[in-house]
Structure 1
């Protein structure tokens, strides 16, 4: 049970980040009413954070952050950096930085799978993974 939780938790974090990023995009950024409310001077309190988020994707900041995290995950091989890269990739994908987000999600996911496969017990190794299992 503990082993399966250890494997599933990083993927659950990535899915949760994707859900939050989707809610942020479709509930806070895209509705035209939200944008029009911020057009007037002295708009609601949330116009400042919304403007910062919008400027982040207009300047491709989320894509750059995701690619940087993916590079860190390639060279610093652990679960945290893999989850960070995949999560930032999902955020970048949701917030209009498709290329960098897709690359970071791919690299982060592959790094996470690799880390989890390397941490698997020897008894769970796939057939043919051990050189002694190869017929001669």
Structure 2
């Protein structure tokens, strides 16, 4: 049998929109993590670091068990550790595309901004946000 040639039309360009499926839940996870970090840092700042009664309680002997972690966080702030870690991990995330550095930059950047280490923390957090936009 002889087959008749089929009429073929030129392929039509398809206009499909990229699906927003996986990006939407990922956005909500990042938003939830952001709110959690901000909430924990704010609670720690306003209930543990700032009150004078906490400072007075830590100057007594014997000191309560929570004075050690409180002093560590205050020393991290005084030595700009939050900002340095946020900036270093933000640079690693943005320029060297290290995936593990992105959440580190976000968490330490947010915590540093809430716990008085705003300069470097904000830059590291901004680098992490730019990295999120690039991916």
Equivalenced residue count is 115
* Alignment-derived partner of residue 82 in structure 1: 102
* Alignment-derived partner of residue 15 in structure 1: 35
* Alignment-derived partner of residue 49 in structure 2: 29
Q: Give ranges in structure 1 of 5+ residues lacking alignment.
A: 116-136
Q: Is the 8 A contact 1:38 1:47 kept in 2?
A: yes
Write the distance in 2 (CA, Å) between the matches of 1:60 and 1:78. 23
Query: Aligned to 1:97, which of 117, 122, 132?
Result: 117
Please report the RMSD computed on the Cα atoms of aligned residues, expressed in angstroms.
Answer: 1.8
Q: Does 1:51 align with 2:77?
A: no
Query: Aligned to 1:65, which of 59, 62, 85?
Result: 85
Write the distance in 1 (CA, Å) between the matches of 2:119 and 2:108. 12
- For residues 36-64 of structure 1, what are the alpha-carbon distances to aligned partners after superposition, in whole Å with 9 as ceiling and x for unaligned? 10011211111111111111101111111
SS of corresponding position for 1:44 = coil
- For residues 106-131 of structure 1, what are the alpha-carbon distances to aligned partners after superposition, in whole Å with 9 as ceiling and x for unaligned? 1111211221xxxxxxxxxxxxxxxx
Q: Give ranges in structure 2 of 5+ residues lacking alignment.
A: 1-19
Write the distance in 1 (CA, Å) between the matches of 2:132 and 2:80. 25
* Deviant stretches of 4+, over 6 Å: none
Larger helix proportion, structure 1 or 2?
1
